[in-house]
Structure 1
Amino acid sequence: MTGRFRERDDGMTIDDLAVVRRAYAKQVLAAAAVADASLMRALAETERERFLGPGPWKLMRFGGNYVETPDADPVYLYTDDLVAIDAARGLNNGQPSFLSKLIHAARIRPGDHVVHVGTGTGYYTALMRCLAGPHGCVTGIEVDPGLAARAADNLAGYPGATVLAGDGGDTDFAPADVVFVNAGAVRPAPAWLDRLKDGGRLVLPLTVHGGDTGTRGAVFLVTRRGGAFEARHVSPTRIFPCIGGREPDGEARLADAFARGGGMDVTALHRRAPKRGDRLWLDGGDWCLTTG
């Protein structure tokens, strides 16, 4: 067979994998309700199998159960599914449409420095590296040393991509245009705000424990404007918890805010205790989120 088709070992004839990736990119962005030509190109050009180890792979289906792919054909990875990185821990390569929505919200531009907290094995870090372009760079931070080593190997062919092993709230990094937190915290780490450039964007998932359902919460986009921080709700989430980003008092305060509702009306983050006149959504003690 010639042209864009190839003959498989099983005798079937299918589109070349590059065509499968392009279809995947379109389906993912359609599911995310996002129109973003740069992100579509990044999704179509990035090899997801490179970041997930040898197949067969375990895909998460409805009800939270894993189903193993019939074999190691990478075509199975080009669907809008979570793929297990460590099934025993319930640790997955996140859902493409959900992460694509958040990446789109971050507005990564050519030349940006992006810091990805919770880089995992590096797939979404690679997408962000593509968006930052040849003059940009990405710093991945991963608290699990084994995953950090895997991500560093997987990203070795991406110039300008660096992986650091450590706690994303404590690890030092250069000033960033985007800080993308890929795990649920109860408050922003000071470094995520301190090292955000003026006009920089922080993708911040805030979550509480939800019993048997794991964590639940919301993702906020925080934008620095000089010494002030705008904030807006982007999406609900049930993201994996951020190790080092949890503490009981913050958990309780956040749970109270979610129980009251109204998180979609958040407009600002303040690095101070609430004061009289604030239209308060979350009282974080020494910080707060306000509405209107």
Structure 2
Amino acid sequence: MTQIAEARKFYARLLAAHAGSADPRLEAVFTEVPREAFLGPGPWTVIAGNAKLETPSADPVHLYQNVLVALDAAKGINNGEPFLHAMWIGKVAPKPGEAVTHIGAGTGYYTALLARLVSPGAVTAFELEADLADRARQNLEPYGNVSFIHGDAVTGSLPPSDIIYVNAAVVAPPADWLKALKPGGRMIFPWRPAERVGLAVMVTRTEKGFACDPFMRSWFIPCVGASLAGSMAKIPDRDRAARSRSIWLTANKAPDRTAVAVIGDVWFSSRDIRGRLAS
């Protein structure tokens, strides 16, 4: 086994173990999809805390650890933390044949992983930044089940989706994103209703409504068009945000005393879809 293949295999084992997923395919896809194919030629700029470090060489072995790799350092855009994405992908549990919408695809690395996991299902990927979109389109050419859109997922129309995987922070998910979820569909997104509040949230569409699970802290760059709350919004602190158990469309149900946040066309409740209050 070559050094790079050995490094990639161990990296995949670490990610799968950190994710705690019961799906053995998670380790397999991280082993099979080469991260370097999505990052351009090295050496690469790696972000560690507030520091930016250049890898010692263009050897891809340096990429197979839990590091952020800069895609556009000036705009603060990076490839994303592998441990975090392994956890998110494990939690959202993609299944063969499902339809995925990936918002904020960057240069396509995590899009490719999702495409492998849902094949023969399809992935629709959105990226707003023109340079990243051009790179992603080229990088994803080998993945025949990916449709790539250089466009705005906030104002554009999302296809019916089993999974919506969001990689840019929103003050609240647009109502159209929730409506795009199929029955049983899952959306995972970075929720940032206030500057100091950053949570990863998974929403599941059920027969009774949209169940909400804020499951970890999370920080992403803002999503253009969905990162500012209006003056009439009810904004939660972190503790109240973490008590969210369901999300509702204001057009379908008016906010009540359980509302921890009311932002635009949606509101978050501390009562779950079965009527139980968060403890």
Q: Decide: shared fold, TM above 0.5.
A: yes
The answer to whether the 8 Å contact 1:274/1:280 transfers is no
2:25 corresponds to which of 38, 46, 65: 38
Q: Provide the C-alpha distance between the structure 1 equivalents of 2:30 and 2:232, rounded to a whole number of angstroms.
A: 35
Provide the aligned length of Structure 1 versus Structure 2. Answer: 269
Q: Which residue of 2 aligns with 1:266?
A: 244
Q: Which residue of 2 aligns with 1:11?
A: none
- Paired residues for 1:154-165 under 5 Å: 154-165=139-150
**Shift in Å at residue 35 of structure 1?**
4.5
**Shift in Å at residue 240 of structure 1?**
1.1
1:201/1:49 CA distance change after superposition, 3 Å: same
1:145 corresponds to which of 104, 114, 130: 130
Alignment identity in percent?
35
Q: Provide the C-alpha distance between the structure 1 equivalents of 2:34 and 2:242, rounded to a whole number of angstroms.
A: 35
Cα RMSD (Å) of the superposition?
2.0
| 164-173 vs 118-127, which moves further | 164-173
CA displacement, residues 180-219 of structure 1 (integer Å, 9 cap, x when unaligned): 1111011111221121111111112111453xxxx74111
The answer to whether the 8 Å contact 1:208/1:251 transfers is no
Q: Which residue of 2 aligns with 1:280?
A: 259
1:166/1:285 CA distance change after superposition, 3 Å: closer
Task: Name stretches of at least 5 consecutive residues in structure 2 with no aligned partner.
Answer: 271-276
1:206 pairs with 2:191 = yes
**Shift in Å at residue 258 of structure 1?**
2.1
Q: Provide the C-alpha distance between the structure 2 equivalents of 1:246 and 1:114, rounded to a whole number of angstroms.
A: 22
The answer to whether the 8 Å contact 1:121/1:148 transfers is yes
Tell me the amino acid that sits aligned with residue 231 of structure 1.
C
Q: Provide the C-alpha distance between the structure 2 equivalents of 1:226 and 1:232, rounded to a whole number of angstroms.
A: 17
1:86 corresponds to which of 72, 94, 99: 72
The answer to whether the 8 Å contact 1:108/1:132 transfers is yes
Q: Provide the C-alpha distance between the structure 2 equivalents of 1:146 and 1:206, rounded to a whole number of angstroms.
A: 26
The answer to whether the 8 Å contact 2:171/2:228 transfers is yes
Q: Which residue of 1 aligns with 2:170?
A: 185
Q: Given the two structures, how large is their TM-score scaled by the length of structure 2? A: 0.90
Q: Provide the C-alpha distance between the structure 2 equivalents of 1:244 and 1:251, rounded to a whole number of angstroms.
A: 17
1:217 pairs with 2:203 = no
The answer to whether the 8 Å contact 2:171/2:194 transfers is no
Q: Given the two structures, how large is their TM-score scaled by the length of structure 1? A: 0.86
Larger radius of gyration: 1
Q: Provide the C-alpha distance between the structure 1 equivalents of 2:66 and 2:246, rounded to a whole number of angstroms.
A: 32
2:212 corresponds to which of 231, 234, 252: 231
**Shift in Å at residue 101 of structure 1?**
1.1
The answer to whether the 8 Å contact 2:18/2:87 transfers is no
The answer to whether the 8 Å contact 1:269/1:290 transfers is yes
- SS of the residue corresponding to residue 262 of structure 1 reads helix
Q: Provide the C-alpha distance between the structure 2 equivalents of 1:202 and 1:194, rounded to a whole number of angstroms.
A: 11
